[in-house]
Structures are given as C-alpha cells and as structure tokens.
Amino acid sequence: MYPTIKPSRLSVVWAALLTLLSFSPLTLSQEPLTMDIYAGAIPGALKSDDLEHARDPDHPDTFLQKVTYPTLTAYLPEPDIATGSAVIICPGGGYQGVSIVKEGYQVAERLQSEGVAAFVLKYRDPLDKTMADKKFGPLQDVQQAIAMVRAKADQWRLKSDRIGIMGFSAGGHLASSAAVHFADPVLERLSPEQVRPDFQVLIYPVINVDSDIAHQGSRTNLLGVGEPSEWWQYFSNEQQVTTQTPPAFLVHAGDDGAVRVENSLRYYQALHAQDVPAGMLILPQGGHGFGMRNPVDWFATMLQWMKSEDLY
C-alpha cells in the first residue's frame, strides 16, 4: 500500500562464559545497545547519502538533524528490578530533527532506574531527498520499532502486553499517530496486533495540524506545502481516536508558547468521549521543551498512573 551485521579446564570455563555473554541481549552491566530497526533495505527509502548531523556539535543536549537511518537504543533494567514493562521513546524536534539527549537518553535512564525497559527511537526526518513519501516515513519507523520490541519480548524479558509509546512535542505527535493509526499499518507486512502500543505517554505533544492550534512548523515539515486537506485531518490525531485507542497519560505546561496546551486538552476530550482511560497533568509553568527538567516531577506522577492502570 505504501512505498516501500589442548586447553586447560579453566580456559574452557572462561570460553564457555564468554560465549554465553556474546549471545545475551545485553551484557551483565546493562549498557545501552543501539540497533538498526530494519534488517535490510528501508522500505520506501530513496538512495541517499547519510545526511545526519548535529545542529551544534558542542552543545551537551545533542540535537540531530536530517536523520537518514533510523535506530533503536535499548536501556534494559537490572533483572532484580525489572517490571516487564517497556516504553519506546520518540524525542521531539519539530519533524526537522530529534532532541536525542534531553528527550531521549535522559528519559530512558530514568525509566531504566525504575525497572522499565526503555528504547530511544531515532526516527527519520521526513525528507523528500530520502523517502518516496515523506509523510509516512516517521510513522513507518515507529510502527517497525513497536513490532521489533514486541517480537523480542521474550528475549528481553518483557511482557508483550505492556509495551508503550512515549513522545515529546513532535515526537508526541508521532507517538499519538502510532496510537490512533495502528489498525492500518503503513508497512503491509505488519499486522495491527504487532504495531498497537499498549499505552501512550505524551509530553507537550503536537496533536492537531488542521486548525488554529496547529504547530505550523511540524505540519509543514511532515506534510510539505500543497498536500490535500484530507492528510491534515488524518494527522490531526484527536480526530482519529476510537474505543480501541490505548490508554493515555498527557503532560503539558499551561504557559507553553510553542505548542499550545489546547493540543493536549482536545486529545484528552477525544479520549474521554470514547471512554479511553486517560490521565492528564497540566503544569503551571515550564514553557516548551523542558524534558525532565521541570520543578514538578511529572515523571513520578506518570509512574503512579502506570501503576493504577496495571502497566507497571
């Protein structure tokens, strides 16, 4: 539908141990592991050089632009604290890059410390130079990532019915797109059961691209100029909520001057209208793009919500 790497006894023991570790999903230290999400060629990708680069190489909050090849970085918790729950994280960046540290790795480390497996998705930016139909490229990547984590649930000691999606800003739009568009996967080889997230956590998300509250930069980067309005409606995710949409937790600051808080409010209302379990935390301040750095520990409240929904 869509375009589509004669010995002593002691040495024998060490050799056996090293062999065992080499086939483990992660080493005993649980260090992050970065993987390609596609085994071979990327469906729908155009032949291109790797355009990815850091916007400011010296800045500690690395912001990657023109991501060309998607990856998934796993942060698995120590076995003695692992809950079996997993979260795939979509950093924000206005669909022109990914804030891979502040809205990716740092969030994953906190999840990992709480016993939740975290997977940071470096999804492709929607670029005409690298994909045949750029509006579906990021959604293709997140659906592939969900299917990949679910397929490896046993290997990573995860519960296949506790695999959620988290997104920040435009990454929140991508995460909510995964939550409302799973019934018709953009890769025909994947089924709805493979790509449906079990829950969604959206932090100052872009939700609407079809009204006065739309984030114009995200819409233009994703859809370009001149796309038929039907795609504005398709990607205005509060209009796509059904009774099958997974439970949600939303966080937004009331003083957000970049992505208006109405995005979260309207999404919550749409979820509530369909009887989808949803929680929402509106922060008094923080603006946009605060990641984990807000005076209010929204993360602790999110964990409480996950426990209340038997997701943690």
Quickly state the pLDDT bin for 12 (edges 50, 70, 90): very low
List helix spans (H) across the chain. Answer: 9-22, 106-113, 137-151, 170-180, 192-195, 216-223, 229-234, 262-273, 298-308
Among 8-17, 42-51, 244-253, the range scoring the smallest mean pLDDT is 8-17
- % pLDDT > 90, the chain: 85
pLDDT (0 to 100) of residue 81: 97
pLDDT (0 to 100) of residue 211: 81
* pTM: predicted TM-score of the whole model, two decimal places: 0.90
**Segment 172-187, tens digit of pLDDT:** 999 999 999 999 999 9
Q: CB burial class (10 A; 0-12, 13-18, 19+) of residue 6?
A: exposed
Short-list 276, 282, 285, CA closest to 262: 282
Q: Is residue 24 predicted with pLDDT exceeding 50? A: no
Determine the Cα–Cα distance for residues 266 and 82; give it in Å rounded to an integer.
34
Amino acid making up residue 37? I
pLDDT (0 to 100) of residue 225: 84
Can you tell me whether residue 163 is helix, strand or coil? strand
Give me the residue spans of the domains in the chain: 30-308
Q: Is residue 85 predicted with pLDDT exceeding 50? A: yes
Q: Which fold has domain 30-308?
A: Rossmann fold (3.40.50)
> Residue 168 is inside which H or E element, if any?
strand 163-168
Quickly state the pLDDT bin for 14 (edges 50, 70, 90): very low
Q: What is the mean pLDDT of residues 188-206?
A: 97
